[in-house]
């Protein structure tokens, strides 16, 4: 029996996913993690108002979601002082990244990112036949100047930068990002991934007049709704309208739309989460320091810890923590792969991290 007639592009791709989920690791181990501090989920959870709204909405799941996400876009527009025409809603930033790449990238088109930046973006680019040109981090930060210069050199159609950055946690100030936008090569689109932007008080103001800049945000991080898959992009209305050509108009979950609206309206809860995250970051840094390790400055809900060695040591530490029931992750590309990345946790979860950290470090160092 003949196989399906896959496209040449699909036949050339490896069968892979950007991340191995903690659930897959638990199945492989035959047991669950005691705490999961690796995926940068908000363990503090969604607003109780959002939980109640989604529970109430469950009985109406026989209906499709509003394909325009009208109420959520209207509330976002009011919250951000823009218009609904500046907003596209999608199935998390991951879903929107896929649509963005589909809009812009065909086989052979040049795309610029940083070596070791968010891998799901690369996954989409390769899936549409784009060619990735990666520049290195500078001082553990994505380097806007290098990204723009490389884009100019290769005539890139798309540039990606996360600010705040994942996996290193740093953030560039508004002036740096404004200068990057001003220097965009003609024809290049800048995707500014602000998934962790809700943890920062001084992001670049929203001036959505540039026709080739899109800023992406999410309810997965500070709002604690990673499982609901609600993200949104902010761009010039002409750019936003282009998404209607390719987006899945019934891709949103009705309860997720309603939950995101309730979460947005509960800014008091968001304030509590931001304070709890700041406390957790300090404690993770203290745990690292107590063992002679350095925590990098973080503007996110995770802390990247410099293990003081190389990728082998960091991988050994991730494995040693995993054996002890603590799920964490690490950057993928040297020299950033000398680090591990630990998501903010509740006090009891960080108690477990502190309990096992020393023994895990000793095992990792012995293995190295």
Q: Where are the domains of the chain?
A: 17-45+268-367, 50-265
Q: In 131-197, which residue ranges form alpha helices assigned H by DSSP? A: 144-154, 174-182
Q: In 128-266, which residue ranges form alpha helices assigned H by DSSP? A: 144-154, 174-182, 237-242, 254-264
* Cross-strand bridge partners of residue 294: 306
The CA distance from 98 to 316, in Å, is 33
> In this structure, which CATH number among 3.30.565.10, 3.40.640.10, 3.10.580.10, 3.30.360.10 belongs to the domain 50-265?
3.40.640.10
Q: How many residues does the chain have?
A: 368
* pLDDT one digit per residue (tens) for the chain, 368 residues: 688 999 999 999 988 877 888 999 989 889 999 999 999 999 999 999 999 999 999 999 999 999 999 999 999 999 999 999 999 999 999 999 999 999 999 999 999 999 999 999 999 999 999 999 999 999 999 999 999 999 999 999 999 999 999 999 999 999 999 999 999 999 999 999 999 999 999 898 988 999 999 999 999 999 999 999 999 999 999 999 999 999 999 999 999 999 999 999 999 999 999 999 999 999 999 999 999 999 999 999 999 999 999 999 999 999 999 999 999 999 999 999 999 999 999 999 999 999 999 999 999 999 86
Q: How many CB atoms lie within 10 A of CB 131?
A: 15
- Give SS3 for 172: coil
Q: What is the pLDDT of residues 309-332, one digit of tens each?
A: 999 999 999 999 999 999 999 999
Q: What is the mean pLDDT of the chain?
A: 96
What CATH architecture is 17-45+268-367?
Alpha-Beta Complex (3.90)
């Amino acid at each position: 029996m003949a196989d399906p007639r896959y496209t040449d592009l699909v036949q050339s791709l490896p069968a892979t996913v950007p991340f191995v989920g903690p659930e897959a690791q638990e199945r492989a181990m035959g047991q669950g993690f005691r705490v999961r501090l690796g995926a940068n989920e908000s363990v503090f959870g969604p607003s109780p108002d959002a939980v109640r709204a989604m529970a109430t909405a469950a009985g109406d799941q026989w209906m499709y979601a509003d394909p325009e996400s009208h109420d959520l876009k209207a509330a976002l527009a009011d919250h951000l002082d823009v218009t609904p025409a500046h907003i596209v809603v999608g199935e998390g930033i991951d879903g929107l990244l896929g649509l963005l790449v589909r809009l812009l990238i065909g086989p052979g088109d040049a795309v610029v990112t940083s070596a070791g930046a968010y891998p799901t973006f690369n996954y989409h680019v390769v899936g549409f036949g784009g060619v990735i040109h990666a520049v290195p981090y500078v001082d553990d930060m994505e380097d806007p100047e290098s990204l723009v210069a490389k884009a100019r050199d290769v005539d890139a159609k798309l540039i990606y930068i996360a600010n705040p950055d994942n996996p290193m946690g740093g953030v560039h100030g508004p002036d740096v990002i404004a200068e990057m936008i001003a220097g965009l090569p003609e024809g290049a689109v800048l995707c500014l991934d602000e998934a962790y932007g809700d943890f920062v008080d001084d992001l670049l103001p929203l001036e959505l007049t540039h026709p080739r800049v899109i800023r992406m945000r999410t309810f997965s991080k500070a709002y604690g709704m990673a499982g609901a898959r609600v993200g949104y992009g902010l761009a010039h209305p002409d750019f936003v309208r282009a998404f209607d050509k390719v987006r899945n108009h019934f891709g949103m979950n009705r309860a997720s739309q309603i939950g995101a609206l309730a979460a947005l309206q509960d800014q008091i809860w968001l304030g509590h989460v931001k304070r709890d995250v700041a406390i957790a970051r300090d404690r993770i840094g203290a745990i690292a320091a107590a063992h002679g390790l350095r925590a990098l400055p973080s503007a996110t809900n995770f802390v990247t810890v410099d293990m003081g060695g190389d990728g082998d040591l960091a991988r050994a530490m991730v494995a040693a923590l995993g054996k002890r029931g603590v799920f964490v992750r690490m950057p993928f590309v040297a020299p950033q792969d000398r680090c591990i990345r630990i998501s903010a946790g509740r006090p009891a979860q960080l108690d477990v991290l502190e309990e096992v950290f020393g023994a895990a470090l000793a095992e990792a160092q012995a293995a190295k």
